């Protein structure tokens, strides 16, 4: 397992296992823990000071999210990335995101519009402070997730929203891979602004077209410029 720089401890879950799950998830989706990295209990125990049972609980949760592989008789490892997985995750995200966004545009009221605009405003402010490498800023990642959550928050389907959240997490790793190999800067701020404007203007056709292109841009970039990091499955 690669050496990980220690961060100030911050409790995220209501339990120790929940806190460890959050911290491991963050290390996986930001690619600080590389795809395929073995997750050995002795190393994790030293790092987190947690019991075998607690660590297994955290790893089992991450396995259910598709971020960790449970290997029979061989323990756990960070789930590998692949072209097939990237395409499947992207296609599933597009289907669910479009459905939830259409529902939100149809059903969302003033509170929904305010949430969309305010989360985008916060994201912009963070981008101004971390203009060079926003993806390396945990605050940006959180604000980015909250903006996309706000867009679909009026979709009125707890099941779809839960599936969407899991897929968003799986796509996070590919987003970080894409950023590291993008040949030219991407105007994500402009993309977010256009999506927001179409959504609150209730132009559903334009909004879903923009969100699909926004999502697929990451997959296209990884396949084109970072294919050496994903297998050919």
pLDDT, tens only, 38-81: 999 999 999 888 899 999 999 999 999 889 998 877 789 999 89
**Average pLDDT of the segment spanning 146-174:** 95
Residue 160 backbone dihedrals phi, psi, to 5 degrees: -65, -40
Whole-angstrom distance, CA of residue 123 vs CA of residue 112: 17
Ranking 10-19, 37-46, 205-214 by mean pLDDT, the lowest is 10-19
Domains defined along the chain, listed by start: 16-78 (1.10.10.10), 83-229 (1.20.120.530)
pLDDT surpassing 90 at residue 179? no
User: Are 204 and 107 contacting, i.e. CB atoms less than 8 angstroms apart?
Assistant: no
- The residue among 155 and 180 whose pLDDT is bigger is 155
Ranking 25-29, 89-93, 97-101, 200-204 by mean pLDDT, the lowest is 25-29
Could you tell me how many residues make up the chain? 233
Query: 63 Cβ partners below 8 Å, 6+ apart?
Result: 69, 70, 76
Written as one string, the DSSP assignment of 185-217 is ---HHHHHHHHHHHHHTT-HHHHHHHHHHHHHH
Could you tell me the pTM of the whole model?
0.81
Q: What percent of the chain has pLDDT over 90?
A: 57
């Amino acid at each position: 397992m690669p050496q990980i720089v220690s961060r100030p401890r911050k409790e995220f879950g209501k339990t120790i296992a929940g806190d460890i799950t959050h911290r491991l998830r963050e290390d996986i989706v930001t690619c600080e823990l590389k795809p395929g990295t073995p997750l050995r209990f002795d190393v994790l125990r030293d790092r987190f000071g947690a019991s075998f049972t607690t660590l297994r609980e955290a790893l089992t949760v991450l396995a259910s999210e598709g971020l960790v592989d449970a290997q029979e008789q061989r323990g756990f490892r960070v789930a590998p990335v692949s072209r097939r997985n990237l395409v499947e995750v992207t296609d599933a995200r597009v289907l669910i995101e479009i459905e939830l966004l259409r529902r939100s545009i149809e059903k969302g009221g003033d509170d929904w519009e305010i949430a969309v605009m305010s989360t985008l405003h916060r994201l912009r402010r963070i981008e101004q402070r971390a203009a060079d490498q926003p993806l390396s800023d945990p605050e940006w990642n959180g604000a980015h997730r909250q903006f996309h959550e706000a867009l679909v928050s009026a979709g009125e389907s707890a099941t779809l929203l839960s599936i969407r959240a899991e897929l968003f997490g799986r796509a996070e790793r590919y987003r970080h891979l894409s950023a590291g190999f993008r040949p030219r800067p991407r105007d994500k701020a402009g993309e977010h602004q256009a999506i927001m404007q179409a959504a609150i203007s209730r132009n559903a056709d334009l909004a879903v077209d923009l969100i699909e292109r926004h999502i697929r841009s990451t997959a296209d970039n990884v396949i084109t410029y970072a294919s050496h990091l994903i297998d050919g499955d």
